[in-house]
Amino acid sequence: MGGTVQIKCPNCGLYNTNADHCSNCGTLLSYKKRREIAHQEREKQRIERENTQKKTSPSWIESGKQSKNPFVRIGAHLTNSIVIVVMAIGAFFAWLFTFLAA
């Protein structure tokens, strides 16, 4: 079904036959390539936002571990340890229940 396709350039209005770029002004005509380029740009922006967010706002446990106050550091380490133990117990029970159910 590969026939000729005429696409009107959104920039200059010239009709182009079987081309990805306009022969007059060079504008990208392929909607698939435009979508890919837009997706790549959005992905880059998302990654940049995530990186800046990680740099600017660490979690309170991470900032507590680097605190000058020794009580805050001990509290952050203690809280982190408790969270890890609770997660390990939860993972064990999840494994146990799935093992017994099978």
CA distance 87 to 72: 22
Q: Where are the domains of the chain?
A: 1-57, 60-102
Say if CB 20 and CB 29 are below 8 A apart.
yes
Confidence of residue 1 (pLDDT cuts 50, 70, 90): low
Q: What is the pLDDT of residue 35?
A: 92
**pTM, entire model:** 0.45
- Degrees (nearest 5) of the Cα angle 14, 20, 25? 40
Q: What is the pLDDT of residue 17?
A: 85
pLDDT digits (tens, 9 = 90+) for 2-57: 678 888 888 888 888 888 888 888 888 888 888 999 999 999 999 999 888 877 76
CA distance 42 to 45: 5
CA distance 54 to 63: 12
